[in-house]
Amino acid sequence: MFFAPLLVGACAGDDGADSDKDAPAKDDSKPAAENLGYDLLASVTDLQQVLRLRLGPDARDADPDAVVVWTFHQSEIWGENPIKTHGLNLVDETIYVGALDYFTEGVAYTLDVKTGALVEELYAPNNLKYGGEPTRTNTRATHNIIPWGDELISSDTHNNRVLGVSRAWEPRWEISTETLTDPYMSGLFSNPNDVELILRDGVEHLMVSARGDNFNHVMLFEPAVPERDGDPPWSLVFRYPEHNDTTLLHQNHNPRALADGSGFTVSDSGNNRILFITWDGEVTRQIPGPGCPAPKARAALDWPRDAVFTPEGTMLVADSHNDRVVEFDLREDDCLDEEDVLWARSGLVETYNLVLLPHADGWAE
């Protein structure tokens, strides 16, 4: 099943009936096993890498190079190329990686979480037709990719849609302006960058982040019965904010459902903060907090694209435009001060996605 992250994960809800698809969604409703430390998976967009880093108290004072468990370079597959690493999704011990070049093509691949070895290459071919619509180039359909039973779900960022395809990239359905019935959504839906399967009340849902110029939203879709072949098997049940407002959310990335089922976190990249939001659309926490002084020097965030939280009360951030992963101590408050910086690894050009791995599962052996 999907690995369950620690305090803040990528799913919500309790155990319940299985969905029609046999690939389970992430269910964080149960407490994590006793934590024995943790590692971190990170995608580095411009370096075209996926890294596994050894973190925790013992690593903070170590030689920075000593904390690298393994590094996978995309050049091992394709040689030198412009395709940039983006989304990571962990299924059992396999990492699904989405990668694309903004102007030419997109591909995906899977890695073994223990060794970083390549498992499978996945390609999004050109010129696929969906639902009888005119041919649209499908070369950049791999910003983020997740398995769904025997199929795949992929965010096709630059064609403004979420796709359902077979593993051979045969079209199944899409979520786009052509398939959405909500007038607001059908008029503006654009630039979906992250997709995630989560559980709510035992039912598998699809969470989508989109960040167009006039469309900055996190959305939740529940299972639906398609009326026609090619219709998406999902129906919109939630979006935040209700209408585009960049003071509320701007250029958002990587929403993650909270383990207690109450809502989700999201990286509000354009506003340089991390938000906690309920399924009623209420912001319950903001980092850095609204009453805090502006972070300075090492504590300042610049375009954070992802954040994960540890049981020790620390936060790790993919701080993209600062080209680093950084860990903050949040045990006293939600202000970000220089003394709160516990650890940072610099030189990671345009970090994008993070996944925590607890040592209790034996992966750190």
> What pLDDT digit, counting tens, does each position of 312-351 carry?
889 999 999 999 999 999 999 999 999 999 988 999 999 9
According to the model, what pLDDT value does residue 59 have? Answer: 64
Task: Give the closest residue to 264 by CA, choosing from 249, 250, 283, 277.
Answer: 277
Task: Give the closest residue to 319 by CA, choosing from 295, 337, 346.
Answer: 346
Alpha helices (H) in the chain, listed in sequence order: 57-60, 75-78, 183-188
User: CA torsion sign, 349 to 353 to 359 to 362?
Assistant: negative
CATH class for domain 38-361?
A: mainly beta
- Spans of the chain, pLDDT less than 70: 1-36, 56-66, 125-139, 359-365
Cα–chain-centroid distance for residue 94? 15
Q: How many Å is the Cα radius of gyration of the chain?
A: 19
Tokens found for residue 54: 């050894």
How far apart, in whole angstroms, are the C-alpha atoms of residue 248 and residue 33?
Answer: 35
According to the model, what pLDDT value does residue 62 have? Answer: 63
How far apart, in whole angstroms, are the C-alpha atoms of residue 100 and residue 159?
Answer: 13
According to the model, what pLDDT value does residue 207 have? Answer: 98
pLDDT per residue over 56-108, tens digit each?
666 666 666 668 899 999 999 888 888 899 999 999 899 999 998 877 778 89
According to the model, what pLDDT value does residue 12 have? Answer: 33
* Per-domain boundaries in the chain: 38-361
According to the model, what pLDDT value does residue 140 have? Answer: 73
According to the model, what pLDDT value does residue 311 have? Answer: 82
Whole-number Cα distances in Å, 309 to 15, 99, 147, 181, 237: 23, 25, 25, 36, 27
What is this structure's pTM?
0.86
According to the model, what pLDDT value does residue 148 have? Answer: 95
